[in-house]
Amino acid sequence: MACSQFEYVKQYETDDRLLPGCWIVLRLDGKGFTKFCELHCFEKPNDVRALCLMDASAQAVMREFQDIRLAFGESDEYSFVFPRECQLYGRRCSKLVSLVASCFTASYVRLWPQHLPDKPLAATPLFDARAVLYPSDRTLRDYLSWRQADTHINNLYNTCFWALVKSGKTNTEAHAQLQGTLADYKNELLFSQFGLNYNALPERFRKGSVVIRQRVKHVKQTADGRSKEKERLEPCVLHCDIIRDHFWQQHAELLA
């Protein structure tokens, strides 16, 4: 109802436009996923199907929001990077955060039966979301390095923890044995006690998932019934190092 006596209340809405010129990172994280994983009997330490569902939901978000430059995911979290010059929704924080979180959550629910067909969804998955601004390419790269380093630290810890628990230790005993130990100790423990070479574990577990847009060939039917090979940009999931320079040199367009 335009120009009504009530319309003044609109003025109570605050301006939450994100600072221009900065990279925008939206990070989502599953609410109470420790319990959610238990409820759905996810494999420990890594349920690969649940990780693939996270990746597929992130790809769905990137198809919906073409502005997103890249994404990084691990465990129950995903970070989406919008470019410095992005003008989507006038950079309004609440619009961006709420739309990306709901798109991700809705996709997670929609795609669940494809990825975990034998497990009915038994709770409502929820994801919190926040926006963080990074003023330089360096701080953005350091942010992404921080998340990938976190993937490695958590995965090494969780791999040891669940190896100990599966070998008969209680949770408390396993925690106590790992408390304050360094990476070398954990690698050695896995190797000598469980015959596991940490570096031979899947890259998905050790490095998380990076989603970037890449040219993918697809076959298109022409009007006269012939098929023609075409290329289009599709969000593709990679599991590779993003801390060192190599990745950024290979994909120089990401920071352009």
Residues making up the annotated binding site are 29-30, 75-76
CA distances from 13 to 5, 90, 131, 145 (A): 17, 15, 19, 36
Taking CB under 6 A as the criterion, which residues in 133-172 touch ligand ATP? 158
Positive/negative CA dihedral, 240, 109, 83, 129: negative
Find how far residue 146's CA is from the centre of its chain: 13
List the alpha helices (DSSP H) in 40-136.
48-64, 93-115
**30 is a contact residue toward Mg ion (CB under 5 A):** yes
Using the rule CB under 5 A, which residue among 25, 28, 33, 61 binds Mg ion? 33
Taking CB under 5 A as the criterion, which residues in 77-116 touch Mg ion? 77
Residues 6+ apart with CB under 8 A from 229: 217, 218, 219, 220
**Nearest CB to ligand ATP, comparing residues 29 and 234:** 29
Q: How far is the CB of 94 from Mg ion (least distance, A)?
A: 14
How many residues in the shown chain lie near Mg ion by CB under 5 A?
Answer: 6
**78 is a contact residue toward ligand ATP (CB under 6 A):** no
Using the rule CB under 6 A, which residue among 22, 24, 42, 141 binds ligand ATP? 42
**Nearest CB to Mg ion, comparing residues 56 and 77:** 77
Residue 81 and residue 26: Cα distance in Å, rounded? Answer: 7
Residue 211 and residue 237: Cα distance in Å, rounded? Answer: 5
Instruction: Select from 42-50, 112-120, 170-178, 185-193 the region that touches ligand ATP (CB under 6 A).
Output: 42-50
Residue, CB closest to Mg ion: 29
Using the rule CB under 6 A, which residue among 44, 63, 169, 251 binds ligand ATP? 44
Positive/negative CA dihedral, 198, 200, 201, 202: positive
Taking CB under 5 A as the criterion, which residues in 41-80 touch Mg ion? 75-77
**Nearest CB to ligand ATP, comparing residues 122 and 252:** 122
Choose the one of ligand ATP, Mg ion, none that binds residue 208, judging by a C-beta under 5 to 8 angstroms depending on kind. none
- Nearest alpha carbon to residue 96 among 81, 108, 110: 81
Using the rule CB under 6 A, which residue among 24, 27, 40, 46 binds ligand ATP? 46
Q: Where are the beta strands (DSSP E) in the chain?
A: 23-30, 70-74, 77-82, 127-134, 209-221, 227-238
Residue 213 and residue 51: Cα distance in Å, rounded? Answer: 19
Q: How far is the CB of 9 from ligand ATP (least distance, A)?
A: 17
Residue 165 and residue 194: Cα distance in Å, rounded? Answer: 12
Q: How far is the CB of 226 from ligand ATP (least distance, A)?
A: 38
Q: How far is the CB of 121 from Mg ion (least distance, A)?
A: 17
Q: How far is the CB of 69 from ligand ATP (least distance, A)?
A: 23
Binding site for ligand ATP (CB under 6 A): 29-34, 37, 42, 44, 46-47, 50-51, 75-76, 158
